[in-house]
Copies of this chain bind each other. A is one copy, B any other.
Amino acid sequence: MESKEISQAVISRLPRYFRYLGELKDEGIERISSQELSDIMKVTASQIRQDFNNFGGFGQQGYGYKVEYLYEEIGKILGLDQTHNLIIVGAGNLGQALANYMNFERRGFLFKGMFDNNPALYGKKIRDMEVKPMEELQDFVKENNIDIAVLTIPKTSAVAVAEQLVKDGIKGIWNFAHVDLNVPKEIQVENVHLSDSLMKLTYNIIRYEEENNIKK
């Protein structure tokens, strides 16, 4: 595919297309028009066509899109036909939950290791993977060609750990620490700031009540 600047807004919508197309495929649906896709996804058909045009369009409008083809093409764009070596740094509740929760392997994410600085956790097995001490992190990343680090450590240590991971050759960070990391632009970061998301929810609840004069 030709290299072209595609907005992060478009990119943010790709996983959602991928998810809906996967469900359609599982239901045995072979073709879908942009209008039908629009109805189930609650975005406009014109938005869908615009988004897809960023990637060449994916098919004839008159006949609709071939579901399986579209699913696979979007999967390729998202890099899901490749494998990514992944580690989790921080073996607390959230790190363990992510290790157990995600269908990593199904999407090409190879779970290679888990690290923590709490000796009580060393050797604990999470999905057949022993928690290793942080002292081993640096060598492990260098020796195992790790692409992605999931950071589920407190914000006080996250910035320094991220800097070290960058030096050791990591390409991307999935950051759950409640802090913005300061890494070079060639390192991709995707933040999941959970409490930011919860605050946005309460904002919307309160605003709706105010606008509609609903008493608590």
Contact = CB atoms under 8 A, between A and B. Distances in A.
Contacts of A107: 195, 198-199
Contacts of A16: 180, 193, 196
A84 interface: yes
B194 A190 contact: no
A200 B15 contact: yes
Contacts of A178: 19
Contact of A188 (B148, B199, B208): B208
Copies in the complex: 2
Contacts of A147: 205
Given A14-B203, A98-B194, A102-B194, 15 more contacts: A6-B207, A14-B199, A41-B180, A77-B203, A79-B202, A80-B199, A82-B206, A93-B97, A94-B101, A171-B209, A172-B204, A172-B205, A189-B201, A190-B204, A192-B197
23 contacts: A1-B210, A12-B200, A14-B200, A15-B193, A15-B195, A15-B199, A16-B196, A19-B193, A78-B203, A80-B202, A82-B216, A84-B202, A84-B205, A93-B93, A93-B100, A93-B101, A98-B194, A102-B195, A102-B198, A109-B198, A148-B201, A190-B201, A192-B197
Interface of A: 1, 3, 6, 11-12, 14-16, 18-19, 41-42, 77-80, 82, 84, 92-94, 96-98, 100-103, 107, 109, 147-148, 171-174, 178, 180, 186, 188-190, 192-212, 216
